[in-house]
Structure 1
Amino acid sequence: MSDKIFIDIVNMSLVGSFAIIITMIARVCLKKAPKIFSYVLWVVAFSRLIIPFSFESVFSILPFNATPLSTDMLYIETPYVETGVKAIDNALNPIVSSAILDNTFNVYQVAIFVGKVIWYSGVLILLIYSIVSYIRIKRVLDGSVHLRDNIFISEKIKIPFVAGFFNANIYLPKSFDNTQEYIILHEQTHIRRHDNILKILAYAVLILHWFNPLVWIAFRLFVADMEMSCDESVIRKANTDIRKEYSQSLLNLSIQKQTVGTSIAFSEGNPKERIKNIMNIKKTIGIAGVVSVILIAAIAICLIPDRPQFSTVSEVITNNPSVRKSNISYAKMTTEDGNVDIIDRDTLDHILVFIETLEINKKESSRSRTEDRDSTNKITFYRSDNTFDSSINFNQDYSEVWISDNATPSFTYKVKTPDDVKKQILDFIRISND
């Protein structure tokens, strides 16, 4: 179980790293757009870091398989990684399968064990640090005086911040100026948007992926976008232009920064970057908002799903006997474009190789085994005594395939390149008719 958790984390970290890079690039493109869009965009990257499964889509831009590492590889003699990038697989697999320690273990097993121990140690250290920080904050806030609603005044803090999960409170320093009501509005905006919960969840992701420097960068940028989007919300809702006073308060409080753990402080983030953004805030979102929504939707469509994983028929459909058999004497092709009997041995062998090496999706498109599936196009193989051996069935547009024999039919699988398959089938028909 511990092996699977660690391997899932590593796989998610690899996928999440790619999502973070794309998000950072998109963030640059959204530089002049309201920061709420950059803030929302981080949900896509963090979802890939915390959800160990997804669905497949041809729109995915993921350049490698989502699960290059597998627990199954721990129990076979020659383990391998399957990134889906041949150059990387060819470089890594001779290494991970190398035997060490008097052939007792291989590199893959040792790497997983050592990595697992280091990862669990790091998670434990960060959890202890988080608990200690929480206890310290609780002690600091003890004795806070209730001001109104969920707002408290404390003599022990220097900056305003939000603390708590579901029942979050706002804590203000004793020196708080009542004329700075917009600071309270800032913290109330955080609570209304549940930023305090989102930050804690993002911090939990950081703990799980502490070994990945890109996740640390993502967390910092996520918090920065959260604060700047909150600034924008307050400025836009103000009846007067408060940008100057707001920026001055931010600058003054940034000088008095103090550590508040996963709580949300008014002066968090880069003051210079926030002030620059505040001075550029416009009352209306305009066309930038429409473009930003389209960009976020496109990125979500391309990053949330996994890319389809393909392999050959002989590797995927393992629950059916191989089509290649020495006692097959001829075949019949029945298609919308023509029918033909394949008697020539060389052509028959070429067809058998074509079927075995046909690339299909590793994940079945249907688990139905019924014989009434769309088999508009079919290659049927017969033995020397003219009895049925097996058949390769394609639907009308050659996008799906399944195998049937005298035993149990296979599941249905998606074909990687239907047009190429159709072309090859037509070539076989043409050669046999010549």
Structure 2
Amino acid sequence: MERCFIMILNNALTVSVLIFAIIVLRLLFQKAPKGLICFLWVIVAVKLIVPVPLESTFSLLPNRTPVSVGIVSQQEPMLETGLKPVDAVVNPVIHEQFTSARATGVNVIQVFLHVGTIVWIIGVLGMLAYTVVTYILLKRRVRVSIRTEQNTYECDDISGPFIFGIVRPKIYYPSGMVWEEKEFILRHEKAHLKRKDHLWKPLGFVILSIYWFQPLCWIAYILFCRDIEYACDERATLGEDKQWKADYCQALLNCSVGRKRIAACPVAFGEDHVKGRVKNIMNYKKPAVWIVLLAIAAFAVVSVCFATTKKNDDNVEHNFTCDYGSSKLYSKEDMDEAIQTIMNEFNNWKGCEMHSIRYGSDQTCSEGDNLSWMQELENANDNKETFTECIMFECDFHSPKSDADAGGLNVDEEYTDWQWWLARSEDGPWKLMTWGY
């Protein structure tokens, strides 16, 4: 679960740039159709829930994994956002905390990931539990309702109209409403149904439940809910005259007075940001074609630049070959995580150049003596982590060409079959234990 939390953490960090860009676009293109704005929030949702990153040579995201999966085993843990001002502020703090805690034998990064994973899971379960409870309570309130027409019900125990349900959504409105108001309400709620907002809004809340710790995700969800109301108002009032729109706005105001927010999921008439919606309805005019085309072009540029990541070719980026061999014990993903942990250490070896790295063998990794050796090294450092797996890689590299950088290595020499040994506990990250011949 810690590796899953790191993936969620990386998504939460990298999506920040996209959300900020969309907020700026909302301000720049206020005259663009709000249905078009809603599409931008769909792009945010795709970026947050699709596990495989979308790649593009035009991406401006400096790094898709600011938090390395091997950060626990790094000699000097750091974030690699690719933004130097951010790294310059954050990394000294991380290094200071890690160094001071390390003197007492505590791996503060490992503690943070472990505690953070638990807190994250509790938060997700709490958000989902809130959704389930409010859904049940609201269902009880509308169970005594009178059907007035197809898919439409009148209820005594609600203060405002809304759509309830996902598979078979129904429109509910409070008893005693005059016919004129009901006409506007039904027009609005049916517009919601045509736009499938009863599906999009709950989906957005589920995604928010996963990323509940990211403040910008909360802002994105609030603006998304606001934009779907704007888009629905534009659709419901399309082609109507000013007097009709004025009556529609009055019905909107009447429904919002004294109204309590129901829950995160129902789509409701008069639910949110009434002042802004009234202003948008009365001032809305069908935008010129050039505005729409310019908005689409700007949205496309932002999506390509901030919703994708740079193409990543390990052989080009690291300039060495990887031989994964044939293993029944570990997947390519497992090996990539181990290799990344090795490179976190090797990159600190000034002047060294990696040429190739290859997986040892299943036989070597499955031998009990080797796992016991890893455990002895762990215990010798007064650490208490219990390992369940170990892995070994061999590499070829060239040592530095100057005495000042060589350290314990021979100067300007090709090293072959250099071994790297790593171990991990169940569901834990790889930890670099030792290296050499």
Shared fold per TM-score greater than 0.5: yes
Aligned pairs for 1:5-404 within 5 A: 5-62=4-61, 64-75=62-73, 79-86=77-84, 88-89=86-87, 92=91, 94-95=95-96, 98=99, 100=101, 104-180=105-181, 181-238=183-240, 241-261=243-263, 262-283=265-286, 286-308=289-311, 315-319=318-322
Q: C-alpha displacement at 1:214, in angstroms? A: 1.1
Q: C-alpha displacement at 1:312, in angstroms? A: 9.0
User: Are 2:315 and 2:321, in contact at CA under 8 Å, matched by a contact in 1?
Assistant: no
CA distance in 2, matches of 1:151, 1:186: 13
CA distance in 2, matches of 1:155, 1:199: 25
CA distance in 2, matches of 1:291, 1:109: 48
CA distance in 2, matches of 1:22, 1:108: 31
User: Are 1:20 and 1:218, in contact at CA under 8 Å, matched by a contact in 2?
Assistant: yes
CA distance in 2, matches of 1:310, 1:94: 30
Partner amino acid, structure 2, of 1:124: L
SS at match of 2:60: coil
Q: Deviations over 1:305-331 (max 9, x none)?
A: 1134588969441438xxxxxxxxxxx
Identity %: 33
When structure 1 is superposed on structure 2, of 70-79 and 254-263 the one drifting more is 70-79
Number of the residue aligned with 2:380: none
CA distance in 2, matches of 1:300, 1:13: 16
Partner amino acid, structure 2, of 1:291: L
CA distance in 1, matches of 2:240, 2:86: 55
SS at match of 2:148: strand
Point out where structure 2 has 5 or more consecutive residues left out of the alignment: 324-349, 356-437
User: Are 2:315 and 2:322, in contact at CA under 8 Å, matched by a contact in 1?
Assistant: no
Partner amino acid, structure 1, of 2:278: I
- What RMSD in Å do the two structures reach over aligned CA positions? 3.1
CA separation of 1:209 and 1:299: change in aligned 2, threshold 3 A? same
When structure 1 is superposed on structure 2, of 111-120 and 265-274 the one drifting more is 111-120
User: Are 1:15 and 1:48, in contact at CA under 8 Å, matched by a contact in 2?
Assistant: no
Partner amino acid, structure 2, of 1:55: L
Q: Deviations over 1:222-272 (max 9, x none)?
A: 111100110001111547851100110111111131222110110122111
User: Are 2:319 and 2:354, in contact at CA under 8 Å, matched by a contact in 1?
Assistant: no
CA distance in 2, matches of 1:355, 1:123: 44
Q: Deviations over 1:364-391 (max 9, x none)?
A: xxxxxxxxxxxxxxxxxxxxxxxxxxxx
Q: C-alpha displacement at 1:183, in angstroms? A: 1.4
CA distance in 1, matches of 2:291, 2:318: 49
SS at match of 2:322: coil
Aligned residue pair count = 327
SS at match of 1:319: strand
Provide the TM-score with structure 1 as the length reference.
0.68
Q: C-alpha displacement at 1:80, in angstroms? A: 4.2
Partner amino acid, structure 2, of 1:153: E
SS at match of 1:71: coil
RCO comparison, higher one (Cα < 8 Å, 6+): 2
Q: Deviations over 1:265-304 (max 9, x none)?
A: 1012211100000001124654322222222222222122
User: Are 1:155 and 1:174, in contact at CA under 8 Å, matched by a contact in 2?
Assistant: yes
CA distance in 2, matches of 1:73, 1:164: 44
User: Are 2:33 and 2:287, in contact at CA under 8 Å, matched by a contact in 1?
Assistant: no
CA distance in 2, matches of 1:167, 1:40: 24
Number of the residue aligned with 1:409: none
Partner amino acid, structure 2, of 1:209: Y
Q: Deviations over 1:388-421 (max 9, x none)?
A: xxxxxxxxxxxxxxxxxxxxxxxxxxxxxxxxxx
Number of the residue aligned with 1:395: none
CA distance in 1, matches of 2:100, 2:193: 55
CA distance in 2, matches of 1:72, 1:162: 47
Q: C-alpha displacement at 1:141, in angstroms? A: 0.6
CA distance in 2, matches of 1:216, 1:259: 17
Partner amino acid, structure 1, of 2:79: V
CA separation of 1:86 and 1:179: change in aligned 2, threshold 3 A? closer
CA separation of 1:314 and 1:231: change in aligned 2, threshold 3 A? closer
SS at match of 1:236: coil
CA separation of 1:319 and 1:295: change in aligned 2, threshold 3 A? closer
CA distance in 1, matches of 2:319, 2:188: 56
CA distance in 2, matches of 1:48, 1:79: 26
Provide the TM-score with structure 2 as the length reference.
0.68
Q: Deviations over 1:141-172 (max 9, x none)?
A: 11111111110110111111001112111001
When structure 1 is superposed on structure 2, of 18-27 and 171-180 the one drifting more is 171-180
User: Are 1:80 and 1:96, in contact at CA under 8 Å, matched by a contact in 2?
Assistant: no
Partner amino acid, structure 1, of 2:297: I
User: Are 2:55 and 2:308, in contact at CA under 8 Å, matched by a contact in 1?
Assistant: yes
User: Are 1:98 and 1:106, in contact at CA under 8 Å, matched by a contact in 2?
Assistant: no
CA separation of 1:279 and 1:240: change in aligned 2, threshold 3 A? closer
CA distance in 1, matches of 2:239, 2:166: 25
User: Are 2:184 and 2:251, in contact at CA under 8 Å, matched by a contact in 1?
Assistant: no
User: Are 1:12 and 1:52, in contact at CA under 8 Å, matched by a contact in 2?
Assistant: no
